[in-house]
């Protein structure tokens, strides 16, 4: 694992565990909704694939 990915993981972990996010995550209207979480995961997957295509192949 490179230093870049390790530092990125630390930043993401810190932002997810920050105190400012806790009230938001506690009161989300879709809490426990599998459909919403699935939709978010699919959107993130599509975004990651598009970014990868752009970076590696110059597409999109």
Round to whole Å and give the CA distance between 30 and 40.
Answer: 11
What does the pLDDT read at residue 27? 67
Report the chain (60 residues): mean pLDDT per 10 consecutive residues.
Answer: 63 59 64 84 94 84
What does the pLDDT read at residue 34? 84
pTM for the structure as a whole: 0.48
Nearest of 56, 39, 14, 30 to residue 6 by alpha carbon: 14
Question: Which domain range does residue 39 map to?
Answer: 3-57
In the chain, the number of structural domains is 1
For 20, which DSSP code? Answer: T
What does the pLDDT read at residue 57? 85
């Amino acid at each position: 694992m490179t230093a870049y990915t390790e530092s990125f993981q630390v930043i993401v972990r810190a932002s997810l565990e920050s105190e400012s996010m806790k009230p938001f995550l506690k009161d989300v209207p879709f809490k426990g909704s599998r459909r919403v979480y699935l939709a978010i995961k699919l959107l993130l997957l599509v975004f990651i694939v598009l970014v990868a295509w752009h970076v590696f192949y110059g597409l999109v």
